[in-house]
Structure 1
Amino acid sequence: MKAVIVRDRTTSGDVFHERVLEFSRVPITVRDLIRERVRAEAMDFNRNPAARVYHGLVPPADAQCIPVGDLVEYRLGSHRRIEWEPQLARALEGFARGDYFLMVDGRHVQDLDAEIAIGRGTLVSFVKQSMLVCC
């Protein structure tokens, strides 16, 4: 397994979330990376039946976007299961729209089909253009 460090950053460079994703085959594409990230976020949320705040790349369709300082929380009225496939579609649309961009080891990657060679300490930053790009 190869690991990638995934960080969420503001355009000013502040890191507000970090996780590690593992892949069994390499290289991966940007699309593969986004898919695995979104799937992992949905699984994390679904494991906690008391959760009402979704910590993900994009909000679920019916979430309220609540500003919290320089960040935004995605709040649901009550807990429900999040299906990752619709979240993936929203994330890919957001990438195409420019709601966020990716930096891989300091290099801006713009193509969903671009390959990412995963090495020791590969760092991917998801940079949201505006924290208020929301629902």
Structure 2
Amino acid sequence: MPILTILDETASGSIIGRLELEISQETLTVRELIARRVHDEVDAYNAQQGGTFRGLIQPTESERVLNGYQLRPAKRIDGEQQVYRALEAFQQNGFFVLVNDRQAESLDEAVWLGEGATASFVKLTPLVGG
């Protein structure tokens, strides 16, 4: 199976995270890509039974800590809820997705993820004071 490299970046281009995702199809929609990524992160966190969640979207009832989010008390994260929140954040410009250095415009856009493809998730930070 091909491996897709996913980078988390800041708006200034600094890489703050990296993960690899096995994909079985060369073409996915942006919606499917986000869902696969979020499910992979949630499954990995739930398998380790706690610790720091390092994911695209902050889980409900969690606290931001260095390099991730902490749930107190530790509990399982609902993958479907996280996918819903991630898709909503994409639509509200909370982050944008670059696939092969080209910005994805909509959730229904099909993107090529074959051998050598890369995807970057660029998180946007809200300005303080409005």
* TM-score, with structure 1 as normaliser: 0.87
Q: CA deviation at 1:124?
A: 0.4
Deviation, structure 1 residue 65 = 2.3
SS in 1 for 2:34: helix
Match of 1:58 in 2: 57
Tell me whether 1:39 sits opposite 2:39 in the alignment.
yes
CA RMSD of aligned residues (A): 1.6
* Aligned pairs, number: 127
In structure 2, C-alpha distance between the alignment counterparts of 1:113 and 1:4, rounded to whole Å: 19
Judge conservation of contact 1:34–1:91 (CA < 8 Å) in 2: yes
Q: % of aligned pairs identical?
A: 34
Equivalent-residue separation in structure 2 for 1:12 and 1:110 (angstroms): 20
- The alignment status of 1:101 with 2:100, answered yes or no, reads no
Q: Take 1:87 and 1:130, find their aligned partners in 2: how far apart are those partners?
A: 19
- Structure 1 runs not aligned, ≥5 long: none
**AA matched with 1:64:** E
User: After alignment, is 81-90 or 122-131 more displaced?
Assistant: 122-131
Q: Among residues 100, 109, 112, which one is paired with 2:107 in the alignment?
A: 112
CA change 1:129–1:36 in 2 (3 A) is same
Do the aligned residues in 1 keep the contact of 2:50 with 2:75 (CA within 8 Å)?
no
2:11 aligns to what? 11
Name the counterpart of 2:71. Answer: 76
Q: What TM-score results when the alignment is normalised by the length of structure 2?
A: 0.90
Q: Following the alignment from structure 2 to structure 1, what is the Cα–Cα distance between the partners of residues 119 and 14?
A: 14
* Residue pair 2:7, 2:17 contacting (<8 A) in 1 also: yes
C-alpha displacement of 1:91:
0.2
